[in-house]
Structure 1
Amino acid sequence: MKNIFLTIWLLLAAFAAVAQPGSIRGTVRADGKVVPFASIGLKGTTTGTTADEFGAFGLANIPPGTYRLVVTAVGFQPTERNVAVAAGKPTTVAVALAASSSALGEVVVSGTLGEVLKSESPIAVELYTPRYFQKNPSPCLFENLTMVNGVRPQLNCNVCGTGDIHINGLEGPYTMVLIDGMPIVSSLSTVYGLSGIPSSLVERVEVVKGPASTLYGSEAVGGLINVITKNPAKAPRFSADLFGTSHRDLNLDLATAAKAGPASTLLSTNLYGYNQRRDVNNDGFTDVPTQHRISVFNKWSWQRPEQRVASLAGRYYYEDRFGGQLGWRPEFRGGDSVYGESVYTSRYELLGQYQLPVAGQKLLLSGSFNQHRQNSAYGTTRYNATQRVAFGQLTWAHGPSIRHNLLLGAAFRSTWYDDNTPATGSEQHTQPDLVNLPGVFVQDEFRLTPDATLLAGLRYDYNPRHGNILTPRLNYKWGTVDGSRVLRVGIGNGYRVVNLFTEDHAALTGARQVVVPEALRPERSWNANLNYTRFITTKAGSTLTFDGSVFYTYFTNKISPDYDTDPNQIVYRNLDGYAISRGISLNTDFTFSRPLKLLAGITVMDVFRRERTAEGGALRRVAQLHAPVFSGTYTASYTFTQWGLTLDYTGQVSGPMQLPVQPNDFRPSRSPWFSLQNLQATKRLGPGLELYGGVKNLLDFLPRHALLRPFDPFDKTVNQNNPNGYTFDTSYNFAPLQGRRTFLGVRYSL
């Protein structure tokens, strides 16, 4: 009997030892130095953590077995290795990372509203770090995006310099701009929202091309740009970046980070000034508007148990910009003696995230609020507007099994808008426009095999003007275990509910009645996308990356204003027709064993719409404005290690694009081929200290005839010696009105 009990006891002890979970602990290093705040996870599971400031990490409660440990950090190449976990014993590992400046090889993204490896994401996401944009420094993020293949910041006014962002040829209102995943950059203020974001607070910029409305709702029809700000706990204690150009503009970014117990804070400021009224083309107008702006950003984050998220941020932005005739003075504002376009802009933003303290569950509450005020005078036309956007979202990320990652969410966005035009009432009685947009969504990421993942999502929104709106999407990803080959196939639906009074405000200044004769349908798009990524490492230590996509977007229900049917009315209807954006794009990244790095991207596309000009008539093809058939970006970097010197040669090339012209216009309706090229040298002077300088627009390219009839901006003599009936026009634009210029700057980070 004693032997029987002893045998049972030994069996139970052995079973308990086998069932007892194990753990993994280790340190992440690169070139002998610790890498703080790296991301560590077990591939194919939901187990993960973040290294501390000393590079140390630990994973607990792991069932015995062999796992694939994945370690990633911004600025380093990802690494994977097999780790055997024994029952009841800690497994110690030492992880070594290799440095990488590749924008294509970065790893942590949030394209699915959850941080995942770029190679693991079923959605094709392009990621760019501030280091990439520093190869051609610009005073604002809006200009930096010219370095992104397939993304075109487009100036829509040659006088005031305002514009929007095109993705794959689709116009700016179909591009959603997010900050930390929240839509605080509204349609009224895209260019202003991106102008004052200091580079010192940007962790990375994510670009998704194609509809993303299943997760992000309205406006994400053509794609989205998500600006991820730095975590205050990981930000440098102090950083500064000051540079100016030979055109005498000056830009300053300052940031400081500190810790106070469990809280960390990041304070960042951007100052920009340009006060020169240059007129190189001798048309009597400023080539580039004068600008004075200030932006202050403050973000707080808190350490909480179980690494729960808690952050709160705020930003204030003010700008005074002017463009017009050289002799304009502020007392001429709104008058008809000297033409000027003067814009005063002020906005503030609040955004935050808080993970609810529910044991074993990831419930994340996100919210934002912004107010944008604009006081403008376009010649004699005054436009004063205020827009407020409130956004709230609750998501529940749940992994019911190793093979399923489920995401449920509910969102609400409220947009309030008022201006001084007949669109929102009269001077005696204002009628602000208010749109409340609630929605719910569900997404399941299903791992079919260790190499294949299927993502399915569906969103439901209710709009008081458009009714019920459903937006589905389906994505499939296949990839090799080492991440060297990834294939993605996606089909998605995007939609946009139009705020009629924020997108064409210049036309709403007359005494016209706004008429909506029929129930408007939401603008919709269907997109199919095939993406293939190939990552190659040679025996000599060189790395080659190819990231190619084929895309096709079918767009319907475009809402356009009709000013011609009745001169006393503005009639809004859905377009009788459709639009198409189709093409191919390729991003390449070559990092050689020698200190040479090459990046290049090309996009070939065909963007047009077919519209019916008369009831029962045939559809006619109309090319999309400002959508070049061919465009490309390129960067070549070479480092002289012994001298601490880096040379960066960057540029963009653009093929012909359709331009807005007037009847009988003498200006070409299509732009010429052109290239904007830049050269920069960066000298490392010490730890964290760099001196840089170079030349922008090496070829000194300038577009011609940017303004039509600049000698008569108020059209006072339009009926005199004007057989073609030309009127003053500011919209003919395809390249910046800035010639060759030198720049010099200094950058420091502690």
Structure 2
Amino acid sequence: MPDLRHAALGVGVAVPPDPMFAFFQTRLGPALFVLLALAASAPASAQHAVSVRVTDEHEGTPLSGATVVADTDPPTGASAGPDGIARLADLPSGDRTLTVSFVGYEPATVRITLPRTDDAPVEVALEEDEESLDDVVVAATRTSRTIAALPTRVETIAGEEIDEKVSMDPSNITMLLNESPGIAVQQTSAVSGNASIRIQGLDGRYTQLLKDGFPLYGGFSGGLSILQVPPLDLRQVEVIKGPASTLYGSGAIAGLVNLVSREPRLGAPERSVLVNATSAGGVDVGAFLAGRDARYGYTLLASANGQSAYDGDGDAFTNLPRTRRITVAPRLYAYLSPQTTLWAGLSGTAEDRQGGDLAVIEDGADGYVERSESVRLTTQLRFDHALSEAVTLTAKQSTTAFDRRLALPDYRFEGFQVATYAEASALIDHDAHDVVVGLDLRTDAFDQRDAVGPELDDEQLTVGVFVQDTRDLGDRLSVELGLRGDWHDTYGAFVLPRASALLRLTEDVDLRATGGLGYQAPTVFLEPSESRAFRGVLPLDETVEAETSVGGTVDLNVQTVLGGRVTLSFNQAAFLTRLDDALVPAGDAAPGLLRYRNAAGPVRTRGLETNARLGLGDLKLFLGYVLLDATEAGLADGNARRAIPLTPAHKTYSILVWERHGEGRIGLEAYYTAPQTLPGGERTSGYWVTGLMGEWRVGPARVFLNLENLLDTQQTNYGPVVLGARTSPTFAEIWAPTDGFIANGGVKLSL
């Protein structure tokens, strides 16, 4: 056969015709060419690419790391980049189903037809999944574990729950916490509206309040703490109930609340604005901005809150004080390398509040009024560096300066507090161990200015060393062992062991248990002092000892699906705390003076907490119940017991929510508080508080309306709150709402 290579190269060589070659050219050549062309063009015409942009349903921010999978055989998948876009290639023609998923969000499916008529990305907005919060990493525990893998019981408030509570009260976090089972926000003043957090029936000073792991709200500044924290920048709220002193030291006897801020994310900048107004004369305006590139990032919270003096019960005294408050909190991030992050933040709050006789506040008449002016400045600095995949170092420091002036008609109290916190720690991930080890230093200095009466100047210093090991002992059992040693410059040394265990009984059922010791360094800045504006409060004497505790919790958690349709999340917890040497007002102080002493006997709290969450389509039902037995030593005899005042034995929580993702939601709430015992031994009535809220999306905005306390439950329905003469009144203990029915509404806008 002739050599055809030269012909193929186009070289002019004469060759004689070959019969077989001629047959190939004339008969088989055209047919084979068509077959080869079809074979080559078929794959090309069936291979298509598609881009999918994945965002958060409410915020519109890109979800970097979201997964998109097409129903090919085998499945074709891709992950979203910093811009939230995932790109899938080599998809065959025809109808395709894309499944989009991301940790902490409900998966979504979208149907497309290939080839598409345009190249624009397919837009998919994911809704946060409250049932999948077990996948959330908790910052308060310092490890990189999710809730489902933690031996310590941690509850989170995140996503839609925070968004819903922001609609109800964007000025502070009182409503966010008060409507969570096992947590009570106790109002301590009928005039100023001051309040504190109580967990499991224990006084507010036994709950550690943190912001991004920094203890910023203790001592003199604690009386206004939860009233001066706007929730607009919160990503999640973490609650640990029970002993939590290993990592955070003094003040975590009842538990801790960690407020976790939103961080900047790669992609489009985040811009959100909220405007709210209430029927009680309140106005709130807030904004949150965030942005980031590969090297730098920032967040900015700005909030302004105004409240008119409001008299909801017609007694001519304020139920809500006149308040003017501004908060500005910028934060800068530097991503120095893939292993190193540095951020610095500054937060400033200025507030002026006046409560009392309405005629004095509005018209300048003579009468009783309390005025509180305060300025809070906080700096925060945090440095994280990964030495390797197994070791991460963290250093952080904060300084809080708090200046406050209290003025009554015949009395004033002024003081300046500076509190600092510094910590160095390491997280070591070794095989089945997650080890946290570190040391911290805390200082707290209070300087009373222009003293009228006893001087309360005070300085405290605490040095702590801690270690905690979280370890998996097989597939079903995880344990957490912690030990902390603190040295206080006045009250000496404290050793605080703590142990937790997680037992996975089945795939849907697990059991947790925690036990540990705690302590509280004594201070005069307690609820009884705050309620009297520190008038006549005596300094602590040398006989006062530190408060110490032992406590534990056990809880059973079940997550399942009933009948193939109804999702159920159920938690049953039991708790017990014994508190020794509790600081209480002494009964032998001279008239007009308040002196503290250690209680003659222990404080004991025990109880049960039940939580259930059911979901069916667009409906969600939340049910909660708390049974509480809280007793303290009698005033005269340490062996005698009496109920701790203002701790109801029963409390129920009921919330029904209908939500259509991407459109809106409607929620109905009902809470019952059983009778309580007052300090004088009297029993109160039980009462209901109900509410209705709705939110709907209109273009880029979400419009909301909230009707709070529909039954208009007020303490004045059961008796007067203001007692005695109007020029120098006394006030009843606060055990029920004082403001009655209030409606509020507004708009949230994501830009």
Match of 2:245 among 213, 222, 225: 213
The separation in 1 between residues aligned to 2:623 and 2:409, in whole angstroms, is 42
Does the aligned pair in 1 maintain the 2:220–2:446 contact within 8 Å?
no
Report the equivalent of 2:49. none
Where does residue 549 of structure 2 map in the other structure? 525
Cα distance in 1 for residues equivalent to 2:54 and 2:297: 24
What's 1:721 paired with?
A: none
Q: 1:320: which partner in 2? A: 352
C-alpha distance 379-621 of structure 1, shift in aligned 2 (>3 A): farther
Q: Provide the residue aligned with 2:319 in structure 1.
A: 287
TM-score, normalised to structure 1, is 0.80
- CA 1:514–1:243: 2 relative to 1, 3 Å: closer
1:632 maps onto 2:655 in alignment? no
Q: Structure 2: how far apart are the matches of 1:528 and 1:598?
A: 29
Per mean C-alpha deviation after superposition, the further-off stretch among 670-679 and 538-547 is: 538-547
Aligned mate of 1:492, from 516, 522, 525: 516
- Where do residues 16-165 of structure 1 align in structure 2 (5 Å cutoff)? 36-37=63-64, 52-54=81-83, 73-76=103-106, 99-102=128-131, 105=134, 107-136=136-165, 137-138=168-169, 139-165=171-197
Cα deviation for residue 576 of structure 1 reads 1.7
Q: 1:388 to 1:37 in 2, by over 3 A?
A: farther
Q: How does 1:536-575 map to 2 (within 5 A)?
A: 536-538=560-562, 540-562=564-586, 564-565=588-589, 572-575=596-599
The letter of the residue matching 2:496 is T
**Cα distance in 1 between the residues matched to 2:557 and 2:269:** 33
**Structure 2 residue aligned with 1:651:** 670
- SS of 1:214 mapped into structure 2: helix
Is the Cα contact below 8 Å between 2:343 and 2:382 reproduced in 1? yes
CA-CA distance at 1:741 after TM superposition: 2.6
Q: 2:281: which partner in 1?
A: 248
Q: Are residue 180 (structure 1) and residue 212 (structure 2) matched?
A: yes
Change in Cα spacing, 1:511 to 1:266, as seen in structure 2 (3 Å) is closer
**Map 1:475-514 → 2, pairs under 5 A:** 475-479=500-504, 482=507, 484-500=508-524, 504-505=528-529, 514=539
Q: Does 1:698 align with 2:710?
A: yes
Letter in 2 for 1:747: K
Residues 391-434 of structure 1 show CA distances to partners (whole Å, capped at 9, x for unaligned) of 0111111123x1222111101100011224869976xxxx8311
User: What's the offset of the Cα at 1:131?
Assistant: 2.1
CA distance in 1, matches of 2:733, 2:292: 50
- The answer to whether 1:602 aligns with 2:637 is no
CA contact (8 A) 1:283 1:710 kept: no
Taking a change above 3 Å as real, the CA distance of residues 103 and 167 of structure 1, as seen in their structure-2 partners, is farther
> Shift of the alpha carbon at 1:351?
1.4
Change (3 A) 1:216 1:31: closer
* Conserved 8 A contact 2:696-2:704: yes
In structure 2, the residue matched to 1:680 is 693
Counterpart CA distance in 2 for 1:702 and 1:96 is: 42
TM-score between the two structures when normalised by the length of structure 2:
0.80
1:455 equivalent to 2:455? Answer no
Which of the two has higher C-alpha Rg?
A: 2
Task: Tell whether the 8 Å contact from 1:456 to 1:474 is kept in structure 2 after alignment.
Answer: yes
Q: 1:434–1:618: structure 2 CA closer, same or farther, 3 Å change rule?
A: closer
Q: Which amino acid aligns with 1:348?
A: L
Distance change in 2, residues 1:321/1:510 (3 Å):
closer
Equivalences, count = 651
Instruction: Say which SS state the counterpart of residue 173 (structure 1) adopts.
Output: helix
**CA deviations over 1:84-142 (Å, ceiling 9, x no partner):** xxxxxxxxxxx998851458656221232223211111110110015214435113112
1:2-17 equivalences in 2 (<5 Å) = none
In 2, Cα distance between the equivalents of 1:493 and 1:384?
35
Structure 1 residue 463: Cα displacement:
0.8
- Structure 1 contact 156–731 (Cα < 8 Å) conserved: no
The CA distance in 1 between the partners of 2:684 and 2:445, in whole Å, is 39
CA distance in 1 between counterparts of 2:632 and 2:207 reads 18
CA distance in 1, matches of 2:693, 2:610: 25
Q: CA deviation digits over 1:316-366, x for unaligned, max 9?
A: 001111111122159979xxx410001001101111210246455311001
- State the distance in 2 between where 1:568 and 1:299 align: 46
Q: CA deviation at 1:572?
A: 4.5
- The answer to whether the 8 Å contact 2:524/2:540 transfers is no
Q: Shift in Å at residue 29 of structure 1? A: 6.4
User: Residues of 2 paired with 1:389 and 1:512: CA distance?
Assistant: 22
Partner of 2:684: 671
1:711 to 712, 725, 740: 725
Residue 272 of structure 1: which of 295, 305, 321 is its match?
305
Other structure's SS at 2:216 match: strand
Determine if contact 1:174/1:496 at 8 Å carries over to the other structure.
Answer: yes
Q: Find the residue that maps to 1:619 and give its secondary structure.
A: coil
The question of whether the paired residues in 2 share the 8 Å contact of 1:135 and 1:650 is answered with no
Contact 2:625-2:651 at 8 Å conserved across structures: yes
**Secondary structure of 1:200's match?**
coil
Whole-Å separation in 2 of the counterparts to 1:587 and 1:512: 41
Q: Work out the CA distance in 2 between the residues paired with 1:163 and 1:387.
A: 20
Report the Cα distance in structure 1 between the residues aligned to 2:53 and 2:240, rounded to whole angstroms: 30
Decide whether the 8 Å contact of 2:263 with 2:290 is kept in 1: no
Q: Is the 8 A contact 2:480 2:500 kept in 1?
A: yes
Q: Does 2:404 match 1:374?
A: yes
Which residues of structure 1 form unaligned runs of 5+?
1-26, 41-49, 58-70, 79-94, 662-667, 715-727
Residues 742 and 573 (structure 1), Cα distance of their counterparts in 2 relative to 1, 3 Å cut: closer
Q: Which residue identity is paired with 1:621?
A: R
The secondary structure found in structure 1 opposite 2:304 is strand
The structural deviation recorded for 1:146 is 1.6
Give the corresponding residue for 1:742: 743
1:327-476 aligned within 5 A: 327-329=359-361, 337-356=366-385, 358-359=387-388, 361-400=391-430, 402-420=431-449, 432-476=457-501
Change (3 A) 1:476 1:28: farther
More deviation, 186-195/505-514: 505-514
Q: Structure 2: how far apart are the matches of 1:184 and 1:258?
A: 26
Segments of structure 2 that go 5 or more residues without pairing to the other structure are 1-51, 68-78, 87-100, 109-123
Task: Summarize deviations over 1:135-178 as a string: whole Å, max 9, x none.
Answer: 35113112321211111111111011112111111111111100
Contact 1:371–1:386, Cα closer than 8 Å, also in 2: yes
Name the SS for the 1:135 alignment partner.
helix
- Are 1:223 and 2:243 an aligned pair? no
Equivalent residues of 1:445, 1:455 under 8 A apart: yes
Q: Partner amino acid for 1:36? A: L
Calculate percent identity across the aligned residue pairs.
23
